[in-house]
Amino acid sequence: MIIMLEALTSFLADYGYLNLFVLSFLASTILPLGSEALIIALIYQGFNPFAVVMVATSGNFLGSCTTYYLGLKGRPVLEKYLSPPPEKLEKSEKFFKKYGLYTLLFTWVPGIGDVITMVAGLMKLPFRYFSVMVFLGKFGRYFAVAYLTAFFSN
């Protein structure tokens, strides 16, 4: 068990930022993954909290951009590559129509965030609006996780 823990610690130290970027990217697609545990582990390992936040935000944002792009291509492409549940897609469309652009601040919420990015693409929302709102939402989420981790680790 100790050898396994040492190997994991070494792996984090050697590839921590790369692992975080890839996991954050994948977590913002339709895959049921989360990156918060790795953020906490890296901060406890002594990684720079601001760098951790920026790497996680960048990976998660770019993953969302991928989902947005597939949304731009239309429902057939979404159904082929991501298979979103139709009821979630319809619910997100109604939510997006009701609350508009600010809905994108909640793309970090598990279960609905990925669908919101799809809907933004389907509705042909200009990328400049999409990118600002999604980046701010993702950054806020990761900043809160990192801040709370650093606060409670001292």
Q: What is the pLDDT along the chain (154 residues), one digit of tens a residue?
A: 566 556 655 666 677 899 999 999 998 886 778 888 899 999 988 999 999 999 999 999 999 999 999 889 988 887 777 777 778 778 778 888 888 889 899 888 877 788 889 889 989 999 999 999 999 999 999 999 999 998 887 6
- Number of domains forming the structure of the chain: 1
pLDDT for 14 = 73
pLDDT for 47 = 93
pLDDT for 151 = 85
Structural domain boundaries enclosing 11: 2-153
Take residue 39 and report the two structure tokens written for it: 């953020």
Helical axes 36-44 vs 2-27, angle rounded to 10°: 130
pTM of this structure:
0.85
CA angle 26, 107, 99 (to 5 degrees): 155
pLDDT for 154 = 67
Take residue 82 and report the two structure tokens written for it: 């991501």
